[in-house]
Structure 1
Amino acid sequence: MGSKYTKRYSAEYRRDAIALVRSSGRTVTEVARELGVSLESLRDWVRCGQADCGEGTGAS
């Protein structure tokens, strides 16, 4: 169970953030600061490579 302070981002927002990192030529750190997203979150999204990473249906 996550913290009550954890922000939830839509799959579309994560997809757009990943695309921005990949297309901008900027570092994940720079993009995270610009978007106001934690560096760790954005890094995980990019590493996973998909907007719905970690939020599947529970099937392995």
Structure 2
Amino acid sequence: MTKKVRTYSDEFKAEAVKKIADNNGNISATAKQLGIAMQTLTNWHNKANKGKLIGTKEYDPELMAILEENKRLKRDLKVAQEERDILNEKG
């Protein structure tokens, strides 16, 4: 039996996070009202607080660009290290 993965729009996520304030910060009550898992809403709330949730006033596109570049550079470094290790084994 497979579980269907629900996807939500960025607008829905942002509105859900805003609704938490309407419920005096009660994430559990907000999640129940919206019919989503409390952990899901908590994750969105945490992302919003870190400036990583699109559509929220805290969202920082520059931060996201830096984080994406950092991920790419880490991947590139890992590949270069693996290539170096392979060359060292042969030599």
Say yes or no: TM over 0.5: yes
For 2:5, what is the secondary structure of its paired residue? coil
Of structures 1 and 2, the one with the larger relative CO (CA 8 A, separation 6+) is 1
Pairwise CA distance, 1:26: 4.3
The size of the alignment, in residue pairs, is: 55
C-alpha RMSD of the superposition? 2.7
Pairwise CA distance, 1:22: 2.5
Q: Which runs of 5+ in 1 are unaligned?
A: none
Post-superposition, which runs of at least 4 consecutive aligned residues in structure 1 deviate over 6 A? none
Q: Which runs of 5+ in 2 are unaligned?
A: 56-63, 72-91
Decide which structure has greater helix share. Answer: 2
Q: Percent identity?
A: 18
TM-score scaled by length of structure 1: 0.73
Larger-gyration structure (1/2): 2
TM-score scaled by length of structure 2: 0.50
